[in-house]
Chains A and B, each alone.
Chain A
Amino acid sequence: AQSVAQPEDQVNVAEGNPLTVKCTYSVSGNPYLFWYVQYPNRGLQFLLKYITGDNLVKGSYGFEAEFNKSQTSFHLKKPSALVSDSALYFCAVRPRSSNTGKLIFGQGTTLQVKP
């Protein structure tokens, strides 16, 4: 079965430090990869996506993500965390062979940035 794993329920970092939120996937082919952020009582906001090409993708709010084909991973990163980055983060994938817009979501990782 196709799946997405976010192995950490919560990630804690100090403000100003780099952050990484991990995502690995088990999906056939070379899927499209996405990251979303969710603030309390809000919907998901799209951060960035990987299509092809450069393994480092830049997105909104200073976030970037590193694609690693051999490890089937797509980790979200930011060089310097802000307290306002504290939120719930979701990784999602869509197989390239899909004929629908459906996404396969990970379970989410709560990021806590402390001052």
Chain B
Amino acid sequence: DGGITQSPKYLFRKEGQNVTLSCEQNLNHDAMYWYRQDPGQGLRLIYYSQIVNDFQKGDIAEGYSVSREKKESFPLTVTSAQKNPTAFYLCASSRGQGAGNQPQHFGDGTRLSIL
């Protein structure tokens, strides 16, 4: 079945440590997205990528970094500069340019906590 796989499901970060969240899709989508969700709140866009080797900052990119070396993969690194990283992180994908009426598809998230 086609879909989006996020790993790990739970992740713990020590102070001063960088951690990387994995997101893989087999939907052949050009565009991929990372969102942050805080308890009881909506989604905030961190980064998005329309095509391989290209990505753009979203609304809350500070303290995060991404890469897009393969169409299927869009890993997110939470750096030590992100002082409040505890949140639920969601990865999504969609058709890119010309997405039109096609929805975004979501993975099941990674919950990041501070040790």
Contact = CB atoms under 8 A, between A and B. Distances in A.
> What's the interface size class on B, roughly?
20 to 34
B42 A90 contact: yes
A22 interface: no
Contacts of B50: 100-101
B105 A46 contact: yes
> What's the interface size class on A, roughly?
20 to 34
A99 B56 CA distance: 14
Contact of A100 (B4, B99, B105): B99
Interface stretch (A11-19, A66-74, A75-83, A103-111): A103-111
Interface string A82-104: 00000000101010101111110
A101 B109 contact: no
Interface of A: 32, 34, 36, 41-46, 49, 51, 90, 92, 94, 96, 98-103, 105-108
10 contacts: A43-B4, A43-B108, A44-B106, A45-B106, A100-B48, A100-B97, A102-B33, A102-B45, A102-B48, A105-B42
